Structure 1
Amino acid sequence: MKHLVQEIIELLRTDLPGLAESLNAPATEEELRQTEEELGISLPSELRELYLIHNGEKDGGPGLFLGLPFLSLGEMLSEWKVWTELEEGYALEGEHYSVPSGWIRERYINRYWLPISKDWGGNNIGVDLDPDKNGIRGQVINFGRDEEIKYVIARQVAHFLQFIRDTAKEGNYTVIQDEDHHSWSYGREGAVHFLDAIRKLELPVLQPARQQSGATDVKSWFESLDKGWQERIQSVGTSEQFLLAKQLRFIREGLTDITPLGRCEDVRELVLSVNDIHSIEALSGCKQLKKLYLVKNPVMDLRPLQKLEHLQELIISGTAVTDLSPLSLLPKLKELDAQQTQIRDFSPLKPIKSLRTLKITWPDAEQLSGLSELSQLRELAISGLGTVAVSDLDAIGQLVNLQKLELEGVSLTNLEFVQGCHKLQELVLKDSAVLDMSTVAKLENLHTLTMSECPDVGKLEEVARSASLKKIMASYQQFSLLKECFDRIIDFSTMNGCMTEEESEIWHEYMDRARR
């Protein structure tokens, strides 16, 4: 490790004379021990060795890691603390993909990713101490605010340093001079951010995970396709880039045959909305697919999806699907949008323990009864109601783990049927009428109430008896009624509809009081 760092310094001495001086003195064993104690983690031997050579680099240095700084132990800890404080609430926020698949846990935040560099924009190079099933402890990865796709940059820290050494030796870099500050970036194409450059590299460096398909094979495959698909592929880039793409979107393109997609083994998000697709057989080859949009296609048969073990989100609204049984085998399915379909039986969803969100339209009494068995649901959205009696709605109250309920285009006498949803935190009403809102006050964990385009709600003032409500989205008229009813300040920061100038002044005055 020491030899590698020294080689990098020597190779760059002419172009980056300040690099050697910018590197800090070695960390002490005591500093490493204190860092490990605060982290609650033992550092990998390679990372310890690197810090025993240099404890990061000084502010304003040229950036040991191809223009990005090597963080000192103290800086690493500070950066790590920012992420760990956010982990509980945001760890699984957004969509995240591992490249190669199964090497990095597909999360937004993981306290076992140690940041050894940063870009001052909320993104990091880090050492992964909690790899996924195919990964290696100590692998070097990217993560952060903008890093939705996470790459294994190197299998170990030494490999990363070897790559930097080889880049310097080959002269495959650009020196960046800004007044008195010198830096560098990967490649000869100018100031390229290294976290952008990795998207075009064969990774992990030194030991790529796999060989690309043969050029001849890809060329002959491309030439065998019709002109429409050739143009679509070219809109993505080269044939190789298409086959390795993580996100593909083909909306309103009149697609009928999607056979070429069967070779996209790395695609994670596929949007095929509003086409004329009857068969999705080709999708059985998309082994890494996580999110699939089939909106408004005449698809009936979901069996090709049965072996897509990574599928988490499926949108089949407006399709011809009637049978959900193929989905019962999907171990990671979290969200299903089945709005505007003729699905009668939701019981096949019962074995899917991972299912958290379901969206449906116009359920009748029988369908509501079937829904009551889906105790794993956390979010339910219902648009419209079929033929139901008041007692039929009690099935919703049996969803004991429900945290969010959204009702759109419904007309109800009251909301008593949700009293069994003891964990309900958010209630959303859209374009709906409720004669009696008093039940809201009895929902002891409800913190957010949204009323959008809901002028016909009765006994609204009873909502003020709620001890848990913190935020209400409403019209000005509803805000005006409620603002003096509560014994505390409520967050009315999000309003819907228009306000007159006078109304706006009253609302702003209330919000100013809320902020004090």
Structure 2
Amino acid sequence: MTISIYLNEILTLLKDKLPQLEASLQGPASEADIARVESMLGIQLPQELRELYLLHNGEDRMGPGLFFGLRFLSLEELAAEWQVWADLEEEYGEEDNHYSVPLGWIKERYINRGWLPISEDGGGNHLGIDMAPAEQGIAGQVINFGRDEETKYVIAHQLSDMLRFIRDTVKEGGFKVNDEEEWVYWMYGEEGAGHFLDAVRSLALPLYHAHLREIPEAGQMEQWEQALDDGWRALIAQKAASLDAFLKAKQLYLIREGLSDAAPLGQCKELRELVLSGNELVDISPLSGCVQLKKLYLNGNPVADIKPLAGLAHLQQLFLAKTNVTELSPLLDLPSLKELGLENTRVIDYAPLVQVKSLRSLSLSDLNAEQLRSLSQLKQLRELELDGADEEALAGISALGELSGLKSLHLKNMALADLRFLSGYRKLEKLKLEQVAAKDISALAELPELKSLELNGSDDIGNLAIVANSASLKKFTGSFAQFDLLKERFKQQVDFSSMIGHMTDEENERWHSFIR
């Protein structure tokens, strides 16, 4: 009954300052209502959430928001919002740039069917209950997720902790009521800190169970600060509100800053994304201290030795374009590596990548025949971008037919006789040809899963009309002439809303008229 105790205390404490909250809460849901939603979701609600819904089935649409302005959703609204996200999960669920705080508690995805939206902000963001946590998480933990929520926090271990925090905050007067002409709502913080999902970033989380950060001891911290040169001091002042905020940063973008010394980054233990493109770094050994790194950009640095990265167990994305890297064997010690960029490097031997079983996405350039043969052995790949190959490699391009598990392929700067090597790509969903000439692309019509075809600067394409026989294609992007050739040929509706290249006024009018 902890839920009812905390809720009653909240309503009693707010009786004078925010009576609209109690008035907006709807009557109780029934056990049958809960069972119906559980059946729809395929998820059993945790006991505390059941208790809350047995007290009140959500909040009126113009309610002030039980969760510091975030409106409490009814069971029906929870199910409807959940379904919206579930319908998008297959296409968008694994989008990048999503992080868990603490690390390993929330699955680092954009969408997860195990997240139950119990509140809304009106902009596609939610306070939710996580019923499918990551390895270290707790089923039933309270998290943030939604359209704008890249970093997801374990706000509370359980719903009762969230309600307890609301009660304690009200007791301390740490809130503000906003009385607008047609709507009354409240906000966290005495001055109104704004959106509660923004405010959580500065709270000690999880509520009442805050985890201590791994930060240097006082002596180490002082030594670190004293070692900073004037350039680094100025850069830190530009990128963070304080030295402590710099050390706590989850993302740092240090692009073309003239950096030749990475030493100060070694104490950034909580970094998840680090962009160091276009600097002068040769020695990256300090980055071994960035133990939580998920994404690292080293593009355009003269670094050659990547052995210091070998201990980064959480590193999933590594970009090394235009570096002096030659040896890939250190990547064997990156158990989570999923995406790798190696364009314009000095790597000769790609064979070590065969043993990187987690690798799913790879970008390469200027392949020779031997490198192409090594590439054809990477059966674990799902996405490939290949920019250029020498004549001998192009003559043996059929070797790429071995990569039948690919879902996305991007070819650049090539002249090909045909695309028959793709005939076994039964899972290919997206193909982009950029500055590619091909005498015959009729093989594409037989690919059962091909949904998107883009021809960017690829005007010299033979047998393009046969692509209209594809029953799976949903989106085509190309020149006006290519659009004009294909627009009436498909049996299914195809999205032609993207166009590449110049159009005359007449062509622009004809294109707009067709896509309206």
Q: Mark yes or no: TM-score above 0.5.
A: yes
Assess, with a 3 A threshold, how the Cα gap between structure 1 residues 48 and 470 changes in structure 2: closer, same or farther. closer
Aligned: 1:197 with 2:199: yes
1:267-286 to 2 correspondence within 5 Å?
267-286=271-290
Give the distance between the partners of 1:402 and 1:490, measured in 2 at CA: 23
Aligned to 1:223: 226
Moved more, 218-227 or 289-298: 218-227
Give the distance between the partners of 1:436 and 1:214, measured in 2 at CA: 62
Q: Tell me if structure 1 keeps the 8 A contact 2:453–2:477.
A: yes
Assess, with a 3 A threshold, how the Cα gap between structure 1 residues 389 and 197 changes in structure 2: closer, same or farther. closer
Give the distance between the partners of 2:76 and 2:501, measured in 1 at CA: 50
Pick aligned residue for 2:236 from 233, 237, 257: 233
Q: Tell me if structure 1 keeps the 8 A contact 2:224–2:264.
A: no
TM-score by length of 2: 0.94
Deviations 1:475-494 (A, max 9, x none): 12223334455566543221
Give the distance between the partners of 1:39 and 1:443, measured in 2 at CA: 34
Q: Tell me if structure 2 keeps the 8 A contact 1:492–1:511.
A: yes
Aligned: 1:15 with 2:23: no
Q: Tell me if structure 2 keeps the 8 A contact 1:176–1:191.
A: no
Aligned to 1:37: 39
Aligned: 1:53 with 2:55: yes
Q: Tell me if structure 1 keeps the 8 A contact 2:480–2:507.
A: yes
Aligned to 1:479: 483
Assess, with a 3 A threshold, how the Cα gap between structure 1 residues 460 and 200 changes in structure 2: closer, same or farther. same
Assess, with a 3 A threshold, how the Cα gap between structure 1 residues 413 and 34 changes in structure 2: closer, same or farther. closer
Aligned to 2:502: 498
Pick aligned residue for 1:312 from 289, 299, 316: 316
**Matched residue of 1:384: which SS?**
strand
Assess, with a 3 A threshold, how the Cα gap between structure 1 residues 340 and 64 changes in structure 2: closer, same or farther. same
Give the distance between the partners of 2:25 and 2:488, measured in 1 at CA: 61
Assess, with a 3 A threshold, how the Cα gap between structure 1 residues 505 and 169 changes in structure 2: closer, same or farther. same
Pick aligned residue for 1:303 from 300, 307, 311: 307
Identify unmatched segments of 5+ residues in structure 1: none
Give the distance between the partners of 2:243 and 2:447, measured in 1 at CA: 55
Give the distance between the partners of 2:382 and 2:458, measured in 1 at CA: 24
Aligned to 2:72: 70
Assess, with a 3 A threshold, how the Cα gap between structure 1 residues 162 and 212 changes in structure 2: closer, same or farther. farther
Aligned: 1:393 with 2:397: yes
1:105-120 to 2 correspondence within 5 Å?
105-120=107-122
| Aligned residue identity for 1:13 | K
Cα displacement (A) at 1:72: 2.1
Q: Tell me if structure 1 keeps the 8 A contact 2:339–2:362.
A: yes
Assess, with a 3 A threshold, how the Cα gap between structure 1 residues 322 and 56 changes in structure 2: closer, same or farther. same
**Matched residue of 2:392: which SS?**
coil
Assess, with a 3 A threshold, how the Cα gap between structure 1 residues 10 and 471 changes in structure 2: closer, same or farther. closer
Deviations 1:99-145 (A, max 9, x none): 01111111111122111111011011011111111111211111111
| Aligned residue identity for 1:140 | V
1:81-480 to 2 correspondence within 5 Å?
81-190=83-192, 192-211=194-213, 213=215, 216-217=218-219, 218=221, 221-235=224-238, 236-388=240-392, 390-480=394-484
Cα displacement (A) at 1:472: 2.3
Give the distance between the partners of 2:280 and 2:58, measured in 1 at CA: 57
Deviations 1:52-106 (A, max 9, x none): 3322222222222111122222222222222222222222123210001111111
Q: Tell me if structure 1 keeps the 8 A contact 2:156–2:207.
A: yes
Cα displacement (A) at 1:318: 0.1
Q: Tell me if structure 1 keeps the 8 A contact 2:214–2:269.
A: no
Moved more, 153-162 or 400-409: 400-409
Assess, with a 3 A threshold, how the Cα gap between structure 1 residues 34 and 428 changes in structure 2: closer, same or farther. closer
Give the distance between the partners of 1:358 and 1:410, measured in 2 at CA: 18
| Aligned residue identity for 1:113 | W
Moved more, 277-286 or 464-473: 464-473
Q: Tell me if structure 1 keeps the 8 A contact 2:369–2:393.
A: yes
Moved more, 464-473 or 500-509: 464-473
Give the distance between the partners of 2:433 and 2:342, measured in 1 at CA: 19
Cα displacement (A) at 1:291: 0.8
Q: Tell me if structure 2 keeps the 8 A contact 1:116–1:127.
A: yes
TM-score by length of 1: 0.94
**Matched residue of 1:431: which SS?**
strand
Give the distance between the partners of 2:159 and 2:73, measured in 1 at CA: 14
Assess, with a 3 A threshold, how the Cα gap between structure 1 residues 425 and 139 changes in structure 2: closer, same or farther. closer
| Aligned residue identity for 1:289 | L
Give the distance between the partners of 1:326 and 1:78, measured in 2 at CA: 47
CA RMSD of aligned residues (A): 2.1
Give the distance between the partners of 1:510 and 1:330, measured in 2 at CA: 49
Assess, with a 3 A threshold, how the Cα gap between structure 1 residues 214 and 6 changes in structure 2: closer, same or farther. farther
Assess, with a 3 A threshold, how the Cα gap between structure 1 residues 472 and 83 changes in structure 2: closer, same or farther. closer
Cα displacement (A) at 1:36: 2.5
Deviations 1:13-69 (A, max 9, x none): 221122222222333333333332333222222222222332222222222211112
Give the distance between the partners of 1:231 and 1:291, measured in 2 at CA: 25
Cα displacement (A) at 1:404: 2.2
Q: Tell me if structure 2 keeps the 8 A contact 1:184–1:191.
A: no
| Aligned residue identity for 2:349 | D
Cα displacement (A) at 1:392: 1.4
Give the distance between the partners of 1:222 and 1:481, measured in 2 at CA: 65
Deviations 1:274-330 (A, max 9, x none): 111011111111111111100010111111111212111111000000111111222
Deviations 1:424-480 (A, max 9, x none): 332221122223333333444433322111232334334344444343222122233
Moved more, 162-171 or 431-440: 431-440
Cα displacement (A) at 1:503: 1.5
Cα displacement (A) at 1:8: 1.2
Identify unmatched segments of 5+ residues in structure 2: none
Give the distance between the partners of 1:252 and 1:212, measured in 2 at CA: 29
Q: Tell me if structure 2 keeps the 8 A contact 1:433–1:457.
A: yes
Assess, with a 3 A threshold, how the Cα gap between structure 1 residues 507 and 55 changes in structure 2: closer, same or farther. closer
Give the distance between the partners of 2:182 and 2:289, measured in 1 at CA: 54
Assess, with a 3 A threshold, how the Cα gap between structure 1 residues 172 and 489 changes in structure 2: closer, same or farther. closer
Q: Tell me if structure 2 keeps the 8 A contact 1:328–1:350.
A: no
